[in-house]
Amino acid sequence: MSLRMLCIFGTRPEAIKMAPLVLAAQRHPKVTPIVCLTGQHREMLDQVVKYFGLRVDHDLNLMQPNQTLSELTARCLQMLTGVISETKPDCIVGQGDTTTALCASMAAFYARIPFIHVEAGLRTDSIDSPFPEEFNRRVCSLTTALHCAPTEAAQDNLLREGYSPNDVVVTGNTVLDALKLSVQQERANSSTWIQKYPDIAGRPMVLITAHRRENHGEGIRNLCSAIGQLADMFPKIQYVYPVHMNPNICGPVHEILAGRKNVHLIPPADYPEFIWLMDQATLILSDSGGVQEEAPSLRKPVLVTRDSTERPEALAAGATRLVGTDPVRIVREVCELLTNRDAYTAMQVDVNPYGDGKASERIIDLACRRFSHQNQLAMSH
């Protein structure tokens, strides 16, 4: 009897991490995946879905201009309830810490359907940092039947909070499954990207990303100030910045950095393009959680422009370093990595602490063992 698995996601990071899971479910003889997009991101979500060739069964397209978190949450929860009622899944899968994941977990709880939380157990020491992600993932944990922890540290967080050891499993992180699928493909496709970026290919390059709410305002202005200083100090190094569409980001970025010869302000990069850029980078400045997980596999040092991170494993391994948004510190840390070979190689780790690229198969097998059995029991009664 096939396990009906409703996979719900709505942002680009979720799509990247859920795609290999959906593909693994499609290959499994005893699983029927049902894909529901909330559309929390739109263009960025669609290109990832297309790149991995996912078949979408339901698209809620719920984003509206300038809607508040409360409005988004209310609409998402209501619409997901309708999808669950229509599809009657045996289990529901959500990923990470987005509003979509929060609502998927709540809708599953209200429908009394087991919720599988992919990338469970990430924590910081403050419920509002990052905001609202830390709150979202803690609420997800409350309703979860199967916690798929990416690392032992994430597992320890959940066990310390009192969740049953029977329900918490270290699976690795599915982002590395996606990376393994895509990086070889984009290396083979390198001529396309070299043609698009003739000024970047083969030259030393710092890749920059910034999008988190806590860095809006002074944080983003400080980051841009540091990049401007570094561009003057190291004119032969290229600084590539795919600029987030949020006006709180793109406004200050263009105001402070536009017009510099070695600073390339480009539109948000599609997933395969960003994988190629990461692969080309000398080092990365980022507030992205996914980048902290992916970059160690490519042996790229990451300076994390946040004051805290829920990904301490990369810090402990030496692959990432917290630098916040203080421009003096950012300039100092980047200078060290660009000029001190020993400091640079010390951040190139041989083993990625987030897994081996086989997390998706583990999660599907766990779900089959756990929830197919429950489904058969329910049918027998």
DSSP string computed for 104-159: HHHHHHHHT--EEEETTT---SBTTBSTTHHHHHHHHHHH-SEEEESSHHHHHHHH
Distances (CA, A) of 341 to 266, 315, 325, 345, 348: 29, 19, 24, 6, 11
Is the entire prediction scored with pTM above 0.95? no
Query: Any idea of the CA torsion for 155, 161, 166, 168, to the nearest 10 degrees?
Result: -30
> Any catalytic annotation for residue 244?
yes
Q: With 70 as the cut, is the pLDDT of residue 375 above it?
A: no
Q: Residue 286's pLDDT is what?
A: 96
With bands split at pLDDT 50, 70 and 90, how would you rate the model's confidence at 373?
low
Question: Residue 92 in contact with residue 115, Cβ under 8 Å?
Answer: yes
Q: Where in the chain is the domain with CATH 3.40.50.2000?
A: 3-173+356-380, 191-346
> Any catalytic annotation for residue 211?
yes
Q: Residue 42's pLDDT is what?
A: 83
Mean pLDDT, all residues of the chain = 94
Which is the catalytic residue, given 12, 90, 117, 119? 119
Question: Residue 80 in contact with residue 8, Cβ under 8 Å?
Answer: yes
> Any catalytic annotation for residue 97?
yes
Query: Dihedrals φ, ψ of 170, to 5°?
Result: -80, 120
Query: What mean pLDDT is predicted for residues 194-218?
Result: 88
Rounded to whole angstroms, the Cα distance separating 352 from 102 reads 28
Q: Residue 66's pLDDT is what?
A: 87
Comparing CA positions, the residue from 306, 335, 338, 325 lying closest to residue 252 is 325
219-232 confidence digits (pLDDT tens)? 899 999 999 999 99
Selected from 3.90.1150.10, 3.90.1170.50, 3.40.50.2000, 3.40.50.720, the CATH number assigned to the domain covering 191-346 reads 3.40.50.2000
> Any catalytic annotation for residue 133?
yes
Q: Residue 214's pLDDT is what?
A: 72
47-101 confidence digits (pLDDT tens)? 999 999 999 999 999 988 889 999 999 999 999 999 999 999 999 999 999 999 9
Question: Residue 352 in contact with residue 313, Cβ under 8 Å?
Answer: no
Question: Residue 294 in contact with residue 176, Cβ under 8 Å?
Answer: yes
**Three-state DSSP string of 277-342:** HHHHCCEEEECCHHHHHHHHHHCCCEEECCCCCCCHHHHHHCCEEECCCCHHHHHHHHHHHHHCHH
Q: Residue 53's pLDDT is what?
A: 96
> Any catalytic annotation for residue 213?
yes
Q: With 90 as the cut, is the pLDDT of residue 293 above it?
A: yes
Rounded to whole angstroms, the Cα distance separating 156 from 168 reads 9
Give first-to-last CA distance, the chain, whole Å: 16
Which is the catalytic residue, given 4, 28, 58, 97? 97
Rounded to whole angstroms, the Cα distance separating 291 from 113 reads 32
Q: Residue 380's pLDDT is what?
A: 42
Query: What mean pLDDT is predicted for residues 220-249?
Result: 94
Which is the catalytic residue, given 211, 212, 306, 311? 211
Query: What mean pLDDT is predicted for residues 279-302?
Result: 96
Comparing CA positions, the residue from 117, 91, 118 lying closest to residue 174 is 118
Which is the catalytic residue, given 213, 260, 264, 321? 213
Q: With 60 as the cut, is the pLDDT of residue 307 above it?
A: yes
Which is the catalytic residue, given 14, 90, 133, 287? 133
Distances (CA, A) of 217 to 209, 256, 267: 15, 13, 20
Q: How many CB atoms lie within 10 A of CB 289?
A: 23
With bands split at pLDDT 50, 70 and 90, how would you rate the model's confidence at 378?
very low
Helix axes 174-188, 12-27, angle to 10 degrees: 90
Comparing CA positions, the residue from 305, 319, 321 lying closest to residue 352 is 319
H or E element, residue 35? strand 31-37
With bands split at pLDDT 50, 70 and 90, how would you rate the model's confidence at 24?
very high
Q: How many CA atoms lie within 13 A of 274 on its CB side?
A: 28
Rounded to whole angstroms, the Cα distance separating 278 from 286 reads 11
| Domain covering 3-173+356-380: architecture | 3-Layer(aba) Sandwich (3.40)
Which is the catalytic residue, given 12, 244, 362, 370? 244
Query: What mean pLDDT is predicted for residues 99-110?
Result: 98
Q: What is the percentage of the chain residues whose pLDDT exceeds 70?
A: 97
Q: What is the percentage of the chain residues whose pLDDT exceeds 90?
A: 83
Q: Residue 196's pLDDT is what?
A: 95
294 or 202, which is more confident? 294
309-366 confidence digits (pLDDT tens)? 888 999 999 999 999 999 999 999 999 999 999 999 999 999 999 999 999 999 999 9
Q: Residue 211's pLDDT is what?
A: 77
Q: With 80 as the cut, is the pLDDT of residue 379 above it?
A: no
